[in-house]
Structure 1
Amino acid sequence: MADQDSGRAAVKRQSTRFLLLYALAVAGGAVAYVPFLTILLPVRVESMAGGESVGWLAYAAFVGAIAASVANIGFGWLSDLTRDRRYWILGGLVISSILLVALRSADDLATLLGLLVLWQLGLNMMLSPLAAWAGDTVPDQQKGLLGGLLAFAPAMGALSGAVLTIPGMLSADMRMVAVAAIVATCVLPVLLFGRPVALPDLLAATTSQRNLHSGDRRRLVARMWVARLLVQIAEAALFAYLYLWLRSINPDIGDDDAAQIFFGVLFLTVPVSMLVGRWMDRNDRPIFPLGITAGISALALLGMAAAPDLALALAGYAVFGLVSHVFLSLHTAQTLRVLPRPESRGRDLGIFNLTNTVPSPIMSVLTIMLVPVFGFAGLFGLLAGLSGLACVILLTAKRASKT
């Protein structure tokens, strides 16, 4: 009897092989956009627009965010209907890779924005079903571990940016081709060799599960959505303007320097996220660490706003980058705990993904309004207030059942 019980318990856990290959695929998704949006696109825009580069980047962030929002919900919903995420992931991989390479031909703002919109559509055809696939395959008792593994994604994205921008290694056009090749190398293994353990309970939530503390659950979902939105506004600002902010402090900073700083910060995110994620699983406290990391992010942004020199500015960014990415990695996994409807998981995650895309136009407006008048210090002060509010929202949240 004991052996039978242990066998049933083992079935409730996903295989380590699938978790690792899935994390590699998510890392490939990050490689698809992190080096492009943080380094390659700003560098190209600066070479094309010169002194108008901040405005150009704001327009690019705005239209890209709208396209990504619509595509993420739409393709998530379509993958719900077909009940097979893998074909959508493969199609998005192919389309986004082709369009990323095509972006090399953009030589004016209109062409750049048009190709950027199409690329966002293809990219989210891959990313949305990929995110929902985790909800179909990873049980709650491994969500913390999953969140820790997902921290590899931004680190891989930053590493690719640091490598691709090594001076003299690749031309600007060949960097796009290299990104597409790396993404395919990361994503294809889970599609070909993943073979996840079937966990039927994750695909068929019962009526009692859906109704259990439904009011508390809805309120928790709303709090998690708003808190992530607030932190993501701050993260999006640094994501898009890290390079330009560093150059405003020290004009000698190059694109390779920015990429290496970005990677160094995110590399530290991985072990910290793994440790915190395991703590969440063992103690069944998924919300508390999210509130703490949001609060530390607010303090780090205040430090960046007040930093008098490059050394202190980088120290503030290191703390912010570390804790904000720990927050985002773990939040992504814990979101799956509060969305209990498997038949609409892709669509619902697409709606939650608005917290990733809506911040870009908000951040763009804030940047255009604040930076010309108050500089980046004024912007970071406001962002600190938003992250502090996210901390309060999460730490005062009432848990729904065992969520």
Structure 2
Amino acid sequence: MTQGSVPALQSRRFLWLYALAVAGGSVAYVPFLTILLPLRITAMAADQDVAWLAFATFFGAISASLSNIGFGWASDATRRRVPWIAAGLLLSSLLLGAFGMTRSPWQVIALLVAWQVGLNMMLAPLSAWAGDVVPDQQKGVLGGLLAFAPAAGAGAGVLVTLPGLASADVRLWLVALLVFLCVMPVLLVGRPRRITDVDGRPTEAGPRSRRRGEIVRMWLARLLVQISEAALFAFLLFWFRAIDPAMTDARVAQIFGLILLGAVPLALAAGRWADRHDRPFAPLTLCAAGAGAGLLVMASAKGLEVAIGGYVLFGLSASVFLSLHSAQTLRVLPRPDHRGRDLGVFNLTNTGPSLVMPWLTLALVPSFGFTGLFLALAGCALAATILLWRMRAAR
């Protein structure tokens, strides 16, 4: 690209179809891991369901972490993403339907480990594919479009659990069908433009030491925000009920759904602003600060209205942060030939907190209450803000 020329951009069709495919990934695991899997384990293990679900979550997260790195590396080595995505879509869909044949908790766990392998065979190269074909000038818009994924996952959970719609076993195949409908269009008709500045050798963005520092700060910032979200995901209902015993799980689910929907236009607007002003990390900094502010409000809340307000501020800030961060991470990765592997390492910030935070929360809350927990999490968000503020200033 010559000086003064208009930068080559990826087609809107591909961006939207790619966002639909990523939403399909969310549809694949959100309804299953949050609703269908716990229900199946409860049906098998009765009063031991919490312990078995903890085992399943632990082994599933380990399988997801390792297979995401492995298939990211494999798609790097073969220099092809689409065949891996298609194979993972097929394998994970068949394994998801196979949960209907499980008869014991151990069979569920074994199949869960295999399903995570198949799912991440699809997700890892799908994540890297965007880095291959979407230029930096559109990373903000891409991040905004990725905000649809969590909302799609939550919506799919509502759909497949509608009373009378499907039996427990049919629900599994219904989820698989929804994933297929979301992912296949980009594989069949996406046809991304080939942009040399993206899929060729990257131009140098600065000294190698500076690039390594950017990667570390981006990784740590996401980890810190994910720690906060993982803790709240597990114990939010308990906290709301500690403030108001009349708080129902249905109302909490409604608040959560509204936050996911509200995050979509905010992320799109923030992403477009970041692209237009070439300030990719400014919205991330603001969102990390907003998440910290929300946690401080939650720590001081005495009434339900203030508590909900604090959680809405945290939830919107964290949701927008995670969507934009996923796209802007592609900006700082140093080598396109290792992009899939490196994104697998970044994926550890998603799986790691869910393994650790429940136990840390159980250690903090009995001694210091939810106020102590939220203050500690606000410290994590503040640390993420500082990391990204320095990074923004360095650009």
In the alignment, residue 69 of structure 1 is paired with which amino acid?
S
2:234–2:358 contact (8 Å) kept in structure 1 = no
Of 223-232 and 308-317, deviating more is: 308-317
Cα distance in structure 2, aligned partners of 1:111 and 1:351 = 29
Matched residue, 2:279: 285
Runs (5+) with no aligned partner, structure 1: none
**Match for 1:267 among 236, 261, 267?**
261
1:366-385 deviations in Å (ceiling 9; x for gaps): 13433555565544343222
Q: How does 1:146-295 map to 2 (within 5 A)?
A: 146-206=142-202, 209-210=203-204, 212-242=206-236, 250=245, 253-254=248-249, 257-295=251-289
Contact 1:31–1:183, Cα closer than 8 Å, also in 2: yes
**Percent identity for Structure 1 against Structure 2:** 55
Which letter maps to 2:225? V
Matches of 2:195 and 2:5 in 1, distance apart? Answer: 11
Count of aligned pairs between the two proteins: 394
Name the TM-score, length of structure 1 as normaliser.
Answer: 0.88
Structure 1 segment 2-13 matched on structure 2, within 5 A: 9=6, 12-13=8-9
Alpha-carbon distance between aligned partners in 1 of 2:314 and 2:50, rounded to the nearest angstrom: 22
Q: Is it true that 1:16 corresponds to 2:12 in the alignment?
A: yes
For the aligned residues, what is the CA RMSD?
2.8
In structure 2, C-alpha distance between the alignment counterparts of 1:117 and 1:300, rounded to whole Å: 36
Q: Which moved more, 1:230-239 or 1:268-277?
A: 230-239
CA contact 1:73–1:128 (8 Å) conserved in 2? yes
Q: Is the 8 A contact 1:69 1:353 kept in 2?
A: yes
**Equivalent residue letter for 2:248:** I
Residue 109 of structure 1 and its aligned partner are, at CA, apart by 3.7
Amino acid in the other structure paired with 2:6: A
SS of equivalent to 1:169 = coil
Q: Name which of 291, 302, 306 aligns with 2:296.
A: 302
Counterpart CA distance in 1 for 2:346 and 2:194 is 25
Is residue 2:21 matched to residue 1:25?
yes
Of 328, 349, 352, the match for 2:346: 352
SS at match of 1:9: coil
Long gaps (5+) in structure 2: none
Q: CA deviation at 1:120?
A: 1.1
Greater alpha carbon shift after TM alignment, 243-252 vs 64-73:
243-252
Q: What secondary structure, in the 3-state scheme, does the structure 2 residue paired with 1:170 have?
A: coil
Distance 1:47 1:235 in 2: 28
Distance 1:306 1:99 in 2: 46
Tell me: CA distance 1:52–1:231, structure 2 relative to 1, closer, same or farther (3 Å).
Answer: farther
Aligned to 2:321: 327
- Relative to structure 1, the CA distance from residue 227 to residue 49 in structure 2 (aligned partners, 3 Å threshold; closer, same or farther) is farther
- Code of the residue aligned with 1:20 in structure 2: it is W
Shift of 1:253: 2.9
Choose which of 123, 126, 131 in structure 1 pairs with 2:122.
126
d(CA) in 2 for partners of 1:175, 1:311: 36
- Could you list the per-position Cα deviations for residues 26-63 of structure 1 after superposition, in whole angstroms to 9, with x for gaps in the alignment? 01011111222233334445555666655444433322
Q: Which amino acid aligns with 2:209?
A: G
Quickly say closer, same or farther: Cα 1:375–1:102, change in 2 above 3 A.
farther
2: CA distance, partners of 1:241 / 1:168: 30
Counterpart selection for 1:397 from 369, 387, 391: 391
Measure, in 1, the Cα distance between the counterparts of 2:6 and 2:381: 39
TM-score for the superposition, normalised by structure 2: 0.90
